[in-house]
Amino acid sequence: MNLLGSLFHSSIGKKLLMAVTGLVLFGFVTGHLVGNLQIFLPPEKINAYGHMLESLGAGLWIVRGVLLACVVIHIWVAIQLTLENRAARPQGYGVDHTNRATLASRVMARTGLVVLAFIAYHLLHFTIRLQHPEWSEHTYRLANGTMARDVYTMVVQGFGSVGVSFFYLLAVGLLSYHLSHGIVSMVQTLGLKNERWTCGLERFGAAYCWAYFLLSAAIPLSVLGWMPVLSGLIHR
C-alpha cells in the first residue's frame, strides 16, 4: 500500500491527517481573527489588509482551495474515525462517564459539519457577495491613492443583520468548543505531548478557545451595538 493509501485507510494515517489538517486550520483561524479585529481600527487598516490579500490574485484562490480541502478532509476523517470507534465498541457502557473533553471529542464530527456549512455561507456572503452584489461596487481610497474594496463597510453591513450575526456566533462557538479538544488531540497525535506539560497544554487550549470565541463574538456584537464599550469604535 502506498503512502497516500496508508494515510486514508489506516487508523494511524487518518489520525495523522486529522492532526496535520487541524494544524493548518488552527493557523488559519488564528490569522483570520487577527485580520478581522482590524475592524476596530480606522477603515484604512482593514481595507488595506483586504487589498493586500486580493492583490495575490490566483494565489489567494489557491490558498482558499487548500484550506477548503483541509476542512473537507478533516471532517471526512473525523466521521470515518467515529464510525470505526462505534464499530469497535458496539455495546454502550453501563455508566456514561462523559466529561468535558470526551464530550467534545464525541461531537467533533457534528460540530465540524456545522462549521463547514458556515464556511460555505461565509464565502457566498462576503467573498462571492451573492446576497449583496452591490458590495462589488463599494470602493475605498487608501492613503497611497490606491482604490481598494471597501471591506470595512461590507463587514459592518453584513453583521448589521441579527440573523447573520447569530449564525456567526453559533459557528464560532461550536468551533471554539471543537478546538478545546482538537488542540490537545492534535499535539498528542504529532507526538509532542508528554505528562510533564499536559496540564499546561490543556490550560492553553482552554484559554485560547475562550479568547478566540470572545474576540470573534465582539465583532458582530459591536456592530449590532450590543457591546457599548467597543461599539463606539465602529464607524457606521
Over range 81-110, report the average pLDDT. 61
Question: According to the model, what pLDDT value does residue 153 have?
Answer: 94
**Per the structure block, which three cell numbers stand in for 70?**
483541509
Instruction: Using alpha carbons, select from 127, 6, 115, 17 the residue that is nearest to residue 73.
Output: 17
Question: According to the model, what pLDDT value does residue 5 have?
Answer: 61
Over range 137-157, report the average pLDDT. 94
Fill in the amino acid letter for 169.
L
CA atoms within 13 A on the CB side of 193: 17
Question: According to the model, what pLDDT value does residue 98 have?
Answer: 47
88 pLDDT exceeds 80? no
Question: According to the model, what pLDDT value does residue 89 have?
Answer: 67
Q: Give me the domains of the chain, ranges plus CATH numbers.
A: 12-87+99-231 (1.20.1300.10)
Question: According to the model, what pLDDT value does residue 53 have?
Answer: 95
For 69-101, b/e burial (b = at least 16 CB within 10 A) is ebbebbbbbbebbbeeeeeeeeeeeeeeeeeee
Measured CA to CA, the distance from residue 219 to residue 234 in angstroms comes to: 9
For residue 97, name the pLDDT band (cuts at 50, 70, 90). very low
Question: According to the model, what pLDDT value does residue 55 have?
Answer: 95
1 pLDDT exceeds 60? no
Whole-structure pTM value:
0.84
Say how many C-beta atoms besides its own lie within 10 A of residue 208's C-beta. Answer: 16
100 pLDDT exceeds 90? no
110 pLDDT exceeds 90? no
Rounded mean pLDDT of the chain? 84
Measured CA to CA, the distance from residue 186 to residue 158 in angstroms comes to: 33
DSSP run (H or E) holding 141: strand 139-141
Over range 70-85, report the average pLDDT. 85
CB of 44 closer than 8 Å to CB of 143 = yes
41 pLDDT exceeds 80? yes
Question: According to the model, what pLDDT value does residue 4 have?
Answer: 61
Question: According to the model, what pLDDT value does residue 95 have?
Answer: 45
Instruction: Using alpha carbons, select from 212, 223, 216 the residue that is nearest to residue 161.
Output: 223
Structure confidence by residue, pLDDT tens digits, 181-207: 788 888 888 777 677 777 888 888 899
Q: Is the dihedral of CA 226, 232, 235, 236 positive or negative?
A: positive
Instruction: Using alpha carbons, select from 110, 117, 118, 115 the residue that is nearest to residue 82.
Output: 110
Lowest mean pLDDT among 24-28, 55-59, 127-131, 170-174: 127-131
CA 158 to each of CA 90, 161, 186: distance values in angstroms, whole numbers, following the listed order: 46, 6, 33
**Per the structure block, which three cell numbers stand in for 155?**
463587514
Over range 147-156, report the average pLDDT. 95
Structure confidence by residue, pLDDT tens digits, 3-17: 666 667 788 888 889
CA 103 to each of CA 23, 88, 96, 109, 181: distance values in angstroms, whole numbers, following the listed order: 21, 18, 11, 12, 9
Question: According to the model, what pLDDT value does residue 129 have?
Answer: 87
State the burial class of residue 19 (Cβ atoms within 10 Å of its Cβ: 0-12, 13-18, 19+). Answer: buried
